[in-house]
Structure 1
Amino acid sequence: MRMFRKIAVAGTAAAVSTVLFAGTALAAPSYAEGLVVSSSGVKVRANATTTSRVVGSLGPWEKVRLSCQVQAKWVEGNNIWYRLHGQPGWVSARYVHNYTVVEWC
């Protein structure tokens, strides 16, 4: 039988908790998770604007990792853009649904 333990470590501003599973710490990811919700995919831009150069693309229904978000150029009623985690570029939140909280840049 495996034992689960939870320990709390006090930080300067708030308490931080770490969950231990069988002696190994499970750290929270440093990114948010999202999904491309456009059936034609989405262009990845160098900056958070539609006039910025295209540096790549993501396919329809592709899972993505998001580092942070900013308010920028409006795209079909949405002015939020996400910075991709682990690769350069930005995508409009109009075409990507976040499943976890995305921090502000």
Structure 2
Amino acid sequence: MPRTLAARSKKISTDAIVVAALAGSLLAAGSAQAASGPGVPPVPQRPAGTITSPTGVNERMYPSTDSAVRGTFGRGAKVGLRCKVHAQSVGGNDVWYMLRNRPTWVAAAYVGNVSAVPLCKDVNRGTVEDSPATRAAMG
């Protein structure tokens, strides 16, 4: 028996609703699985540290004690870290951290890490960090 045009239209719109609902639930399940699960890297934390020196630490223009002091941090101060380089040794530790919010450096010997810090060569550089003087200082 042939269906009327209205019956066919109703059947098509019902099928479309079922397909749309199924697709929506699949997308929701897929995005929930993408947010966590095996093979999915965790959301990276922003590196940070705490100043451990009893007298605080100098914030320097370049990763060297010969470089100009741009500021200081007192003991217990929380600092955001962008990246690290190997440079002048301070107390047997040759790692220096570039601060996250400005292109200045602190000696790792005086910073307790809260999270992992990438090497500066692996971090995208901006105009300031890509200057010839900074590149020479980073090695």
**TM-score higher than 0.5 here?**
yes
Equivalent residue for 1:8? 34
User: TM-score when scaled to structure 2?
Assistant: 0.57
CA contact (8 A) 1:8 1:16 kept: no
Identify the structure with bigger relative contact order (alpha carbons < 8 Å, sequence gap 6+).
1
Quote the Cα distance in structure 2 between the aligned partners of 1:40 and 1:89: 19
Of residues 66, 88, 104, the one that matches 2:103 is 88
Count residues in correspondence: 87
Q: Which residue of the partner structure matches residue 44 of structure 1?
A: 59
Q: Percent identity?
A: 37
Structure ID, larger Rg: 2
- 1:70 maps to a residue whose letter is V
TM-score by length of 1: 0.74
Gaps of 5+ in 2: 1-30, 121-139
Normalized per residue, the structure richer in helix is 2
CA RMSD of aligned residues (A): 2.0
Unmatched 5+ stretches in structure 1: 18-26
Ranges of 4+ aligned residues in structure 1 off by more than 3 Å: 14-17
